[in-house]
Structure 1
Amino acid sequence: MNKEAEKDPGKYIIIKGARVHNLKNVDVAIPKNKLVVITGMSGSGKSSLAFDTLYAEGQRRYVESLSSYARQFMGRMNKPDVDYIKGIAPAIAIEQKVITSNPRSTVGTSTEIYDYLKLLFSRIGRTISPVSGKEVKKDTVTDVVNYISSLPEGTSVTILCPLHAHNHRSLKEELAVLLQKGFTRVIIDGLLSKIEDLLDDVSTGNVKSGDDVQVKIVIDRVSVASDEETLSRIADSAQTAFFEGRGDCFVEENQIVHVFCDRFELDGIRFEEPTPNFFSFNNPFGACKRCEGYGKVIGIDEDLVIPDKSKSVYDGAIAPWRGEKMGEWLNKLVKSALKFDFPIHRAYNQLSNEQRKLLWQGNTYFSGLDEFFKELETQTYKIQYRVMLSRYRGKTTCPECMGSRLRQDASYVKIDDSSITDIVLMPLDKASEFFTDLKLDPTRQKIAKRLLMEIDNRIKFLNDVGLGYLTLNRLSNTLSGGESQRINLATSLGSSLVGSIYVLDEPSIGLHPRDTHRLIRVLRSLRDVGNTVLVVEHEEEIMQAADHIIDIGPEAGTHGGNLVFTGTYQEILHDEASLTGKYLSGRQSIAIPGQRRKWSDFIEIKGARENNLKSVDVKFPLNVLSVVSGVSGSGKTSLVKRILQPALQKAIGNYSGEQTGSYDSIGGDYG
């Protein structure tokens, strides 16, 4: 038996005779609760050892430990081709791929931060009326008692409530019912009267009756005192007033009436009381009714209507207004533009927001684009108009919720003047500052303490792995593989699991060297709470930070699959058999070419504005190898995958229907 097999399974994960894919009877001992890097040439067998052997067996054993009922809901994994594995724990794989295509999944929902935000806003959020800007409150019996107790002792107060007449009862019948309930006095049109006297007066016609008569029931008259008996009496009276007044209670002292209401309303508007579902775009109660929580609707796509935004209206920027017949709409605008000072010779991308709004909505002098498409929709019985409309339809931002995906009144609920929509649209580094600087009163701080701790920790983990540029509203299916992996890594840290094996696939991919040390800090945090962290990696800085390195090779495919080296970073630098060690130590290196290929042809993108790109103009040289570089989140993927690729496909007539990012024009030598 070799020395690897003799090691303690309590301190090591011992793999004997691994033969998965191109692995050649590999025996290796992996130290537990350490940061371990598995490296080697591409195709040498790193993933076969880490994912297809170690993770597969750890997951298989965990699933086998569950009941047969639970196992039917989980994917079964085949036993890897290995003699045995000792000392293994439940394994979690965090791979380099986007794990969801769900259009409702966002960074906030996948990290569970949004779930905590919903709870936070439903518990300590304050609803602000859009009319007056005042806080909407729901009064309680305690509020009435506190108000009356705050008055000078001995002050005489009257507790009242309005009389809500029933449709089938006359005033006389209402007064008779009140008398039966034990009430003795009412105020009619400002005059205090006994109910018994009023019954006689109503019968003889001395008191008018009708819908315009204002009647208040006198619930109680009391002098302010601080003794327990008086406070209990006030509370009982307030409770009765809310019940009889259908939520309204009046307190009158010195002819000044203070109004209390136990309904959640203000300025004539009844508001919804915040609940977690009120802020959920995945729930019909909280989702925008127009887009059903997707944030986008099928409508007229501005990018299709105005494909080249570097052109002016006069030069034909508006695609559907080209041609003799539809050009009449353009002619009306051109002829009347001077009357309202519209710059028809200015490029569309240089128009102000007000000018663009005018072009779409029109005015008294000309009909805008919205009116134009409404006119087309009235003539869809003609096939040419149906075809024309289909050319300009696409997914556009929902005009009702403006992409927030929530019902409009959800934005009325604020914490420190910010709504939940404001927070999910903040970059994560800004959101972290918001919660760090958040000041709450002692009561709300006590309520929110645990929620704020969970939110702060998860946002901190995301910032630590270099994702501070993302927003919580960013769709999961628009993330790169590296971003998705680091989000899963941060989520794992937030879950506080211990005693597990985490297997990661090159987490440094897509990460700028500036942020590598932050990733290392997160990996060490995962290790320090009691987990074994296995990283398939080529990044030198992560190897230097590793507790242990395993080198698989020496080459790829059938020439790989052997255990070349196992030990520390310092030891691999001096190992003669390890190709990785030779490059790390500088004994071998890749020569930089002395000459570069010259280029003249190019593809040019102007005004790229997708995600965080700020009207970028760029040329891509043809027939050469080009690299698009920059820090994580700088816009590399947005430029190449969201703009260049689909725009080029559309330009050469090979458009797949994929939505293209925002840009002004594409040109160059791609024909």
Structure 2
Amino acid sequence: MNNIEVVGARIHNLKNITVKIPKNKIVTITGVSGSGKSSLAFDLLFEEGRRRYLQSIGFPYYIEKEKPFDLLNGLSPTVAVEQRTALYVNPRSTVGTKTMIYSLLRQLYTLESTKAGSLEFKHFTFNDPNGWCPNCKGQGYIQEFHEKKLVPEPTKNLLQICEEGSAAFGSMKNFTKGLAESMNFDVNTPYNKLPQKIRDIFLYGSDEKMKIKWRSERFEGVFDTKFEGIIPYLWRVLAKTTSAYRINKIEKNFMTKVTCPSCYGYRIKEQVTNATINGKHIGELANMPMDELIEFLKRLADTHVKTVQGKAIKDEIIKRLEKSRLAGISYLSLNRSMTTLSGGEVQRLNLMIHLNTGLNSLVFILDEPSTGMHEIEKNNLMTLLKEINNLGNSVIIVEHDRSIISKSDQIIDLGPGPGRLGGEIVFQGTVDEIKKDKKSITGKFLSGELKISKKNSGQRRRITKSAKFLVMKNVTTNNLKNLEVKIPLGLMVGIAGVSGSGKSSLISDTLVPLLKEHFSKRDNEEEFIQIDEIKGKLSGWENISDCIVITQSPIGRVKTSTPVSYIGIWDNIRKLFAKQELAKQRKYSSGHFSFNSDKGGCPNCKGAGSIDLQISPFTKIDIPCEECNGTRYTPEILDVEYKGKNTHEILNLTVSESLDIFKDEPTILKHLKILDEIGMGYITLGQPATTLSGGEAQRIKLAKELGKSRRSKTLYVLDEPTFGLHDNDIQKMLNILDKLVDQGNTVLIIEHNIDILSYADYLVELGPEGGPKGGEIIAMGTPEEVKMNEQSKTAPFLA
């Protein structure tokens, strides 16, 4: 068959659609946010393709509910290349191990390294005791406790500090009271007012025994003991506890990663570093950006690689590494941990891996592969996708980017609106044809009939003589080259640059931690903030009242987390149900309307609405709970209704649909309106957090922050807020961000989207390239000024 034929698709908001998708082509599925693109591509095509493949190779057949389609023919095995970073939680998984290139390097060093002596293949690895650094166990870093993490607010007293360390060192509170009595100081004294000796004993303990009074339910009295200290206590807890939650809390909240002093971050033992090729050991090669590693390997002469097998392995490594340039990730090193990659980087790395396997006759389904890519890198991405296509594979892309859409063989446009207003095929055909289609919003943006708002120089907010700045100096974080940067306040500021140029290093890894340091103290009288673990210093912090960072991390990692619970209106909704007459008769409290509680939640699925069914050692699927039929509640709770709807029905409403239901509830309505205004009207109130994309999670977080009453002079930091947004929804996002700036705030956006950058009041561009070839400021100014800058890589694309 030449097509994948879908008849009667009705999953999620898809309205019984029928479509023929041409095989062995690059097909892009477009449409406004929430129109049903992912439902068609991932929830239908990928899931059904995976189910059929697993069944064909003998994996256990599983009972499924009624199929969400009438007919699906011509579907080959499917590969979903998604942006889910949550799949990678093992810090030992690196770019090198994931791509298998590190294994090839190990073979090369086994054959060709000098001074190898008795070293074998098993020694050239950081994932085995034979080769790993014994100090860090091959991780390249060790964790240390730092005073500034244990005591983030030095104005608090020791008891308050212990209370904030609950689930970590909260139990030290009683000992601390005894310490105060023994050493004769007021336990309510702020930490920063205590003598250094007492602070040291509190953190590190004392060898001297002291009389400590102890009061608890079981014992009260005085006994002689040494005060253990918070840090020794925490080390002891880490050594003994089996609680993953407690370990994670201690490591995340109170410890700092520092480069291993034994292996200097190379992960391998000293003996292995003595084996070199052209003066470099395997750890040094694995720490190079792939771009640099390619050039190093190409320069190797016959005197460095002498065997036929070694030369063949070297050529294969270079061939595989070259694909990283097409994928736009050649700035990454092989030793880069998979847990540190963005969703876009994970997706492009997987594309690189699939291309290197050479498999054909597959259906590749991609989720916005252009995310995180600069305009000049997108041509390489399309080259890579065409190579995968030319191997005999079908490529289906869910995408909003106009440049990617324009290079597709065919477009399927869903809509016309989001959520229940979507789910229909609006258009199918070529790029030229969609531009002429009067029904397609996507077509109108492609043709230029509709455009995202532009600003001319006269409409931009200007830097006045009285303007205030955040000033960073001597910044050397990651690849940054001793930068000095002035960020004007009271404007919309865009941070631009090619992938890996240093945007996140400058903002997320330097500016934000330095500001957090200030806001944890607020009594800093120094001109510059400077902390040991951050390579740079900051001034001008007194000109902002708060710093709000809105990331794309999940709003929750369990199915029972929802948008309404995250933004804080679920309690209000449950209280409304508790006020209904039937609820009063049955003496139901608001707790009965929580699916997370024993009072009203389904006991079988624990309020999740579904049960995980393990169909293989590697795969599990969700099936509706048979007890509650997916409602999450016990039947009697659903008897209670508010305006004709029970809690299950309310949670299934979209944000837009719920506006009328809650029009008489100002607190609830306020937050729902904000969600609707920023283009999130299509999500349901009870949508599981695990099903939200990073972009959706980020916009829900933005809505939560916008719903709070804040002073002006707040700095809002957003990283690629356009991810997952159609052009039509980007306009809504810009309107909201503009309002924030008009209220006296500063909006700082790390972004590749050219419409956002063209709209900003001021730009800071890093480059000129990624990795070691980046880390410099190559352009600053208004978009008009940057456009005239010959050094800028963004200039040719600015409107």
Shorter-chain TM-score bucket reads 0.5 to 0.7
Deviations for 1:193-226, whole angstroms, at most 9, x for unmatched residues? xxxxxxxxxxxxxxxxxxxxxxxxxxxxxxxxxx
How far 1:34 moved relative to its partner? Answer: 0.8
- The one of 70, 91, 104 equivalent to 1:103 is 91
Matches within 5 A, 1:592-631: 592-593=454-455, 595-597=459-461, 600=467, 603-621=470-488, 624-631=491-498
Matches within 5 A, 1:586-597: 586-593=448-455, 595-597=459-461
Distance of aligned partners of 1:426 and 1:436 in 2 relative to their CA distance in 1, 3 Å threshold: same
Distance of aligned partners of 1:53 and 1:415 in 2 relative to their CA distance in 1, 3 Å threshold: same
How far 1:496 moved relative to its partner? Answer: 1.4
- The one of 83, 94, 100 equivalent to 1:112 is 100
Deviations for 1:282-331, whole angstroms, at most 9, x for unmatched residues? 111111111111111234769989x9xxxxxxxxxxxxxx999759xxxx
Between the aligned partners of 2:266 and 2:148, the Cα distance in structure 1 is 21
Between the aligned partners of 2:483 and 2:66, the Cα distance in structure 1 is 51
> Unpaired runs of 5+ in structure 2?
153-191, 211-225, 235-252, 523-531, 546-799
Q: Which residue of the partner structure matches residue 367 of structure 1?
A: none
Q: Which residue of the partner structure matches residue 71 of structure 2?
A: 84
Q: Report the TM-score, using the length of structure 1 for normalisation.
A: 0.62
Q: Which residue of the partner structure matches residue 409 of structure 1?
A: 271
Between the aligned partners of 1:101 and 1:643, the Cα distance in structure 2 is 24
Between the aligned partners of 1:117 and 1:380, the Cα distance in structure 2 is 54
Q: Does 1:486 align with 2:473?
A: no
Q: Give the residue type in structure 2 aligned to 1:102.
A: N
- The one of 8, 13, 19 equivalent to 1:28 is 19
- The one of 456, 476, 483 equivalent to 2:318 is 456
Between the aligned partners of 1:276 and 1:78, the Cα distance in structure 2 is 50
Percent of residue pairs identical: 37
Between the aligned partners of 1:84 and 1:620, the Cα distance in structure 2 is 57
Distance of aligned partners of 1:415 and 1:633 in 2 relative to their CA distance in 1, 3 Å threshold: same
Distance of aligned partners of 1:517 and 1:292 in 2 relative to their CA distance in 1, 3 Å threshold: same
Between the aligned partners of 2:301 and 2:66, the Cα distance in structure 1 is 54
**Which of the pair has more CA radius of gyration?**
1
How far 1:431 moved relative to its partner? Answer: 0.9
Between the aligned partners of 1:384 and 1:324, the Cα distance in structure 2 is 17
Assess if the C-alpha contact under 8 Å between 2:267 and 2:283 holds in 1: no
How far 1:460 moved relative to its partner? Answer: 0.8
Q: Does 1:386 align with 2:266?
A: no
Secondary structure of the corresponding residue to residue 652 of structure 1: helix
Matches within 5 A, 1:355-366: none
Distance of aligned partners of 1:605 and 1:477 in 2 relative to their CA distance in 1, 3 Å threshold: farther
How far 1:440 moved relative to its partner? Answer: 2.5
Q: Does 1:503 align with 2:365?
A: yes
- The one of 3, 10, 31 equivalent to 1:12 is 3
Assess if the C-alpha contact under 8 Å between 1:462 and 1:490 holds in 2: yes
> Unpaired runs of 5+ in structure 1?
1-9, 128-135, 137-263, 265-272, 308-321, 328-371
Secondary structure of the corresponding residue to residue 425 of structure 2: strand
Q: Give the residue type in structure 1 aligned to 2:229.
A: R
Between the aligned partners of 2:300 and 2:64, the Cα distance in structure 1 is 47
Assess if the C-alpha contact under 8 Å between 2:364 and 2:396 holds in 1: yes
Assess if the C-alpha contact under 8 Å between 2:266 and 2:284 holds in 1: no
Q: Which residue of the partner structure matches residue 384 of structure 2?
A: 522
Q: Does 1:126 align with 2:117?
A: no
Between the aligned partners of 1:40 and 1:491, the Cα distance in structure 2 is 29
Assess if the C-alpha contact under 8 Å between 2:206 and 2:229 holds in 1: no
- The one of 123, 131, 145 equivalent to 1:278 is 123
Distance of aligned partners of 1:277 and 1:550 in 2 relative to their CA distance in 1, 3 Å threshold: same
Between the aligned partners of 1:380 and 1:504, the Cα distance in structure 2 is 63
Q: Does 1:581 align with 2:572?
A: no
Distance of aligned partners of 1:274 and 1:596 in 2 relative to their CA distance in 1, 3 Å threshold: same
Residue-pair matches, total:
455
Assess if the C-alpha contact under 8 Å between 1:603 and 1:668 holds in 2: no
Distance of aligned partners of 1:622 and 1:77 in 2 relative to their CA distance in 1, 3 Å threshold: farther
- The one of 530, 536, 539 equivalent to 1:663 is 536
Q: Report the TM-score, using the length of structure 2 for normalisation.
A: 0.52
Q: Which residue of the partner structure matches residue 347 of structure 1?
A: none
Secondary structure of the corresponding residue to residue 499 of structure 1: coil
How far 1:65 moved relative to its partner? Answer: 1.4
Between the aligned partners of 2:489 and 2:387, the Cα distance in structure 1 is 45
How far 1:115 moved relative to its partner? Answer: 1.2
Q: Give the residue type in structure 2 aligned to 1:94.
A: V
How far 1:404 moved relative to its partner? Answer: 0.8
Q: Which residue of the partner structure matches residue 312 of structure 1?
A: none
Q: Which residue of the partner structure matches residue 262 of structure 2?
A: 400
Assess if the C-alpha contact under 8 Å between 2:205 and 2:230 holds in 1: no
Deviations for 1:95-131, whole angstroms, at most 9, x for unmatched residues? 123231211121111111111111111122222xxxx
How far 1:28 moved relative to its partner? Answer: 1.0
Q: Give the residue type in structure 1 aligned to 2:503.
A: K
Assess if the C-alpha contact under 8 Å between 1:551 and 1:580 holds in 2: yes
Assess if the C-alpha contact under 8 Å between 2:305 and 2:311 holds in 1: no
Q: Which residue of the partner structure matches residue 203 of structure 1?
A: none
Q: Larger relative CO (CA 8 A, sep 6+): 1 or 2?
A: 1
Q: Which residue of the partner structure matches residue 414 of structure 2?
A: 552
Secondary structure of the corresponding residue to residue 502 of structure 1: strand
How far 1:410 moved relative to its partner? Answer: 0.9
Distance of aligned partners of 1:647 and 1:77 in 2 relative to their CA distance in 1, 3 Å threshold: farther
Q: Which residue of the partner structure matches residue 169 of structure 1?
A: none
Between the aligned partners of 1:277 and 1:30, the Cα distance in structure 2 is 48
Deviations for 1:557-595, whole angstroms, at most 9, x for unmatched residues? 222111111111111121222111111111221222463
Deviations for 1:37-71, whole angstroms, at most 9, x for unmatched residues? 111111111111111111111111111112247x8
Q: Give the residue type in structure 2 aligned to 1:494.
A: N
Assess if the C-alpha contact under 8 Å between 1:552 and 1:561 holds in 2: yes
- The one of 505, 510, 518 equivalent to 1:638 is 505
Secondary structure of the corresponding residue to residue 577 of structure 1: coil
